[in-house]
Amino acid sequence: VAELSYEEESSPAYGEQAAQTWTYAYVPASQPDHIDFSGPCPKCVHASAYHWPLSLVREDFLALQETTKLVQLEDAPAPQSESVLVRCQCSVSHPGNSGEKGCGRYWTLLVAGQ
Ligand SMILES: [Zn+2]
Ligand SMILES: [Zn+2]
């Protein structure tokens, strides 16, 4: 669907569809600093991938511990599943994309905590 116009929009249906078809992995597995998502875009159907850096989350977490001093890092509770905003990053140039990658659609995926 290369003729599909670039448009920044979302729909719960995109997220539901992506949840069935997309995969993700914490990378590197030993000490992850990002999550790699990949799968077909629910709208334009092109192969797409998304890179989600964990560093911001982690720094916030450490800053919180710094101020609370409640627990050692080892005793920290496992992070709960979190929702990640994924954008279509397909390599096809959609009309009206103004240099942006993908078709502009975005959706939310739920990932299990590491
Ligand atoms: Zn596309
Ligand atoms: Zn797309």
- Output the CA 94–ligand 2 centroid distance in Å: 9
Please tell me the predicted confidence (pLDDT) of residue 98.
93
* pLDDT for 74: 58
Per-residue pLDDT, 80: 77
- Separation of 99 CA from ligand 2 center, angstroms? 14
User: pLDDT digit string (tens) for 49-93?
Assistant: 999 998 755 556 556 556 555 545 555 566 678 889 999 999 999
Query: 73 CA distance to ligand 2 centroid (A)?
Result: 39
In tens, the pLDDT along 14-54 reads: 999 999 999 999 999 999 999 999 999 999 999 999 999 98
Q: Which ligand is nearest to the CA of 46?
A: 1
Residue 27: both structure tokens together? 């990378």
Across 52-71, b (16+ Cβ under 10 Å) vs e yields bebeeeeeeeeeeeeeeeee
Check residues 7 and 81 and name the one with the higher pLDDT. Answer: 7
